[in-house]
Amino acid sequence: MRVASYNCRGLHLGTSEGDKARRIVVDNLLQKCDILCVQETFLPKQELGKLNSFHDNFHGAGESMTDLTLGIVRGRIAGGVAILWHKKLNPFINVIRTEVDWCIAVQVDINNKVFIILNVYMPYECQQNENEYLNKLAFINSFIMDNHSTCVYVVGDMNADLRDRCARFSKHMLQFCDDNNLILSSQLLLPSESYSCISEAWHSTSWLDHCISTVDAHATLQSMEIMYDMSLSDRVPFIMTLDVDCLPEMVHESPGVHKAKLEWHKLRNEDILTYYGRTDVLLADVHLPRCALTCSDVNCNDVSHHEDLCVMYDCIVAAVLEASRPYYTYSHKASNMKPGWNRYVAAHHAEAKEAYKAWVLAGRPRQGPVLDLKKLTNAKYKYAVRYVCKNEQVLRADYGRKTLQ
């Protein structure tokens, strides 16, 4: 499977000769890959439907921040991302809408080999964009954590120049990978003198386009290549080859079970008593394989013992699930509120917001105590967020225990 990424700076979906001429790099890429991620499509919402029809072999989905029905657009349409995939992949593709306009994802599920490609367009490096950049990295992190697949590729225009030692955004990107156990695959698989952006005006090049992978995802990357000879503008596409067969297989849980949530703290006492009663009754029916349970051979090779224990385990889980079934609540979307937020983050958040307001009121100074306070409170806030993210499981368990008491 071949996946490519390209900042096209305007995707022309028309059928005129002029449009085709302006689309030549994209059309060439579509001959070489199965999935193409494009950034800066400059398309309005009204034209996203055409992503499904402009090419004979490809379908697509996109996001845009410009709605032409809301009035006149001043100047050029900005940003926008799209993912195109070969029609042969239609049965395996699921588009994931992130409800933001700077990224879009597809989940590919081929015979239980599941992976996700998140196509992103990050803000360019300048001081005003720094907070937004960090927020978007945090968004990417929660996107990865919220998904069931352990195999996620984040590809696109990261606007983080790996070649420039002073570039702040590339430091943020590297730190982000470090903090979250992610691998900057483009850095590992490509030579350090690579580039993906050419500045005619400054006679210089920079390396802004990257692929960040989870550990599983990185392991399936066979190769990566920057297509210098294909570029006709200031941006150069890259292409990577995935070995889908060596992906870990996802085991699907029975439908409905994993989506159900049991909110113990919302149950009344009599519900919990009924639950006790039902578990007693149902567990009493679980057959106990005495032979296997009393077997004292730590290296036991008796297949029937192994099977009996597995069956008993499944029966116990099923009994407990069955007993709790009347109290399930179904949520379609996991809450974004992390456990521990109120306790560890809320105060820092308020403080950072106040300091930010004061900084704006002071005329956004570029130095001095007002700026320093803004930076300091913001850093504290981010560390608090990082803390609750890293300790989510522990805090969740803690919260569950407290509400049961």
**Site residues, Zn ion (CB under 5 A):** 295, 300, 302, 305
Instruction: Please say which residue, 50 or 305, places its beta carbon nearer to Zn ion.
Output: 305
- Tokens standing for 10? 């305007």
Cβ 294 to Zn ion shortest distance, Å: 9
**Cβ proximity to Zn ion, 305 vs 382, nearer residue:** 305
Gap between the Cα atoms of 77 and 42, Å rounded: 5
Structure tokens that stand for 132 in this block: 């937004």
What's 193's DSSP letter?
T
Q: Are 213 and 247 in contact (CB under 8 A)?
A: no
Q: Cβ 339 to Zn ion, closest distance in Å? A: 41
Nearer of residues 249 and 297 to Zn ion, judged by Cβ? 297
Cβ 300 to Zn ion, closest distance in Å?
3
- Give the Cα separation of 386 and 396 in Å (integer): 15
Nearer to Zn ion, 124 or 313 (CB): 313
Of residues 295 and 315, the one with the C-beta less far from Zn ion: 295
Least distance in Å: CB of 113 to Zn ion?
35
Rounded least distance, CB 309 to Zn ion, Å? 9
Between 253 and 307, CB nearer to Zn ion: 307
CA 84/CA 350 separation, integer angstroms = 41
**Which class for 295: exposed (0-12), middle (13-18), buried (19 or more C-beta within 10 A)?**
middle
The kind and range of the H/E element at 353 are: helix 346-361
Minimum CB distance to Zn ion, residue 312 (Å): 13
CA angle 24, 107, 393 (to 5 degrees): 135
We find the least distance from the C-beta atom of residue 292 to Zn ion, in angstroms, to be: 6
Nearer to Zn ion, 24 or 293 (CB): 293
Shortest CB 307 distance to Zn ion, Å: 11
Is 253 or 302 the residue whose CB approaches Zn ion more closely? Answer: 302
Q: Which of 112, 111, 79, 115 is nearest to 96 (CA)?
A: 115
Angle at CA 260, nearest 5°, toward 108 and 258? Answer: 40
Cα distances (angstroms) measured from residue 38 to each of 44, 74, 309:
15, 23, 51
Alpha-carbon span 388 to 393, nearest angstrom: 9
- Which sign does the torsion angle of CA 250, 254, 260, 263 carry? negative
